Structure 1
Amino acid sequence: MRMKLAATAAIALATLPITANAEGEVNIYSYRQAYLLEPLLNAFEKETGIESNVVFAKKGLAERLEREGRNSPADVVMTVDISRINELVERDLVQGVSTETLEKNIPENLRHPEGKWYALTTRGRLIFTSRDRVEEGEITTYEELADPKWEDRICTRSGKHPYNIALFSSMIAHHGEAETEKWLAGLKNNLARKPQGGDRDQIKAIAEGVCDVSIGNSYYYGNMLQDENQRPIAEQVRLVFPNAEGRGTHVNISGIALTKSAPNKEEAIKLMEFLSSPEAQRIYAEANTEYPANPAVKPSGLVAEWGEIHPDDLPLHTIAENRNAAVKMVDRVDYNGE
């Protein structure tokens, strides 16, 4: 396989060469890490003969696309989080694509209504609880995070992080802004410390006794269990799939979008269709302990062991529409303050 990979910080993006208009190639700008893409693109080339060129970055790809304009060599963008992929739509950097294969493989609530992005995997925004200090079933919903019984017992990362903003946006969709703001203020009052770190750090904080409850993406827990050094930490928490008996657990996505420039449009669409296929969905989901977006593909490995997830079927584009309101709400309740 001759996948070409360039990994870079955003500051160096403009200097990275990538071949455009090459026959039998597809050019990918990616926020997803190289090790997650390699097995997928190996399989794609084996099936189609189409080679892949990848530029990886932690940030700055939307800005690069804007600078490059119609001369951009990028065919697709692969990204994580609904807000990041929706940013591409808001900046008018992607185009709609609709094929029978994509619409068959990806459910309506996991794709843009005009085909401007498609989910490839999903991850639940779960509640983690101490196995020692919280009884099983003691908390079962997001709403209960604001219950005063959890005062000084909850840890989270920044309220401004896209993963939390997406959760807060979903709460706005379900409860309206006024009720959600009361809930968010209650959650803030229950924090054991100022929001900090990432999702794994919240699990570590539970293990260290700093707090008893946290919020995090399911795949972080899975990755910790697969790490020999972090497994003992992860084993000290219990997974809770919030609202499983009601509207369902909030999920976020990794996804793909076709750029407006797309010099290799035909090859790019073939890649999008391949990534939605059962074969690719199994590879992609297993690589990062995520859930397949294609409902015909069942979770496997660790993810299957956790039990069935009942995802909230709220359309993700609705969550994206509430993003700005959620960001302002975080500021109003001073969520990240002392």
Structure 2
Amino acid sequence: MHVKSIHAAGLSALIAASVGTTALAAEVNIYSYRQPDLIAPLLEAFTEETGVKTNVLFLNKGLVERMKAEGENSPADLILTVDIGRLSNAKDEGVTQPVDSAAINGTIPENYRDPEGHWYGLTTRGRVVYASKDRVPQDTISYEELADPKWKGKICIRSGQHIYNVALVASMIAHHGEEETEKWLTGVKDNLARKPNGNDRAQAKGVFAGECDIGIGNTYYVGLMQNNEKEPEQKDWANAIKVLFPNSGDRGTHVNISGMALAKHAPNKDDAVKLMEFLASPKGQELYAERVYEYPVDPNAQASDTVKNFGDINPDKLPLAEIAKNRPKASELVDKVGFNN
């Protein structure tokens, strides 16, 4: 295996060891919020195709703060992360640089990339409804409908301040404005079966246990549960739900992204851009999407069979950069209506 998963101190030591001798040749250093085992097959394929090795530093928090502290001496070449909030924050905090590549722009639709080229989406996940197969007869739904009193005491959701839900609220602001979104958010709160808690899988578990009839979660968690051999009880949670794609018949379902950004002080810039172009290629997107149970952003790339079985997705065409601008206000509204109370 050419893929190396290196802890923070290890990667720093690796870089330091090259100082005063020779620069690292044909390598790319990746700071990642995604688990190394999820991206390993993708990076192995890149190395086999190009001969360029990769080193992965996995962090579950503090990635941007670390890069700011490292400054010009940062060994990071590429950032891999999830959520438009994290990508836009990396840009806002000044740890990325723009990339202008015809190869990347040719496969990444405009609404899934930063207008200035600081970040690019690679795969999408829908923010969908996990509906009970037994207790919810309808097969269509809208986000607006979640505030309908008919769902009172029947909705499960994780914290309203989680980045996935903040992005959803931000998209509602983009479509309806702050005032209407506040009313909507209050209505959803009034329909909750319990205090927001847990992760997205916990919402499917809540539906399975009869605590609620619908849960809000990302599509990829369904694939993770369906194929979880270590905790097979999660297969029961997945089998208890059907995936409903909100607003699929009109503006489309809100999606978020897994994406990439070139580090501001990338010491191996040329090879890092080469990796970005590989990740953006149909082959790279398909490999990545299959591994993480997400949808490729390239309309010509194929989703995995597991993902296809979720159903057809009609993603919201609103540029994610526009949605990201509403994230601060969305977070304020979550607190204003006391959503987590």
| TM-score, with length taken from structure 2 | 0.95
| Alignment of 1:270 onto 2:274 | yes
Supply the AA of the counterpart residue of 1:17.
A
- Residue 280 of structure 1 and its aligned partner are, at CA, apart by 1.2
| Alignment of 1:282 onto 2:278 | no
Residue in 2 that maps onto 1:43:
45
The partner residue of 1:99 within 91, 98, 101 is 101
The partner residue of 1:238 within 236, 239, 242 is 242
| Alignment of 1:73 onto 2:75 | yes
Decide whether the 8 Å contact of 2:243 with 2:311 is kept in 1.
Answer: no
- Residue 6 of structure 1 and its aligned partner are, at CA, apart by 1.9
The residue correspondences of 1:57-72 to structure 2 (distance < 5 A) are 57-72=59-74
Distance 2:13 2:218 in 1: 34
- Residue 304 of structure 1 and its aligned partner are, at CA, apart by 1.3
Decide whether the 8 Å contact of 1:6 with 1:16 is kept in 2.
Answer: no
Residue in 2 that maps onto 1:327:
331
- Residue 37 of structure 1 and its aligned partner are, at CA, apart by 1.1
- Residue 306 of structure 1 and its aligned partner are, at CA, apart by 2.4
Decide whether the 8 Å contact of 1:3 with 1:53 is kept in 2.
Answer: yes
Residue in 2 that maps onto 1:3:
3
Residue in 2 that maps onto 1:121:
123
Residue in 2 that maps onto 1:145:
146
Residue in 2 that maps onto 1:302:
306
- Residue 328 of structure 1 and its aligned partner are, at CA, apart by 0.3
Distance 2:35 2:88 in 1: 20
Decide whether the 8 Å contact of 2:4 with 2:54 is kept in 1.
Answer: yes
Distance 1:14 1:4 in 2: 11
| Number of residue equivalences | 332
- Residue 307 of structure 1 and its aligned partner are, at CA, apart by 2.5
* Segments of 4+ moved more than 4 angstroms: 12-16
Distance 1:233 1:189 in 2: 25
- Residue 2 of structure 1 and its aligned partner are, at CA, apart by 2.2
Residue in 1 that maps onto 2:257:
253
Percent identity over the alignment? 53
| TM-score, with length taken from structure 1 | 0.96
Decide whether the 8 Å contact of 1:14 with 1:64 is kept in 2.
Answer: no
Distance 1:171 1:202 in 2: 21
Supply the AA of the counterpart residue of 1:252.
N
- Residue 300 of structure 1 and its aligned partner are, at CA, apart by 2.1
Deviates more, 1:256-265 or 1:275-284: 275-284
Distance 1:58 1:51 in 2: 23
Secondary structure of residue in 2 paired with 1:105: coil
Deviates more, 1:153-162 or 1:274-283: 274-283
Decide whether the 8 Å contact of 2:107 with 2:298 is kept in 1.
Answer: yes
Secondary structure of residue in 2 paired with 1:132: coil
Deviates more, 1:302-311 or 1:145-154: 302-311
Distance 1:133 1:17 in 2: 56
Distance 2:119 2:13 in 1: 25
5+ residue gaps, structure 2: none
| Alignment of 1:34 onto 2:36 | yes
Supply the AA of the counterpart residue of 1:81.
D
Decide whether the 8 Å contact of 1:18 with 1:53 is kept in 2.
Answer: no
Deviates more, 1:288-297 or 1:146-155: 288-297
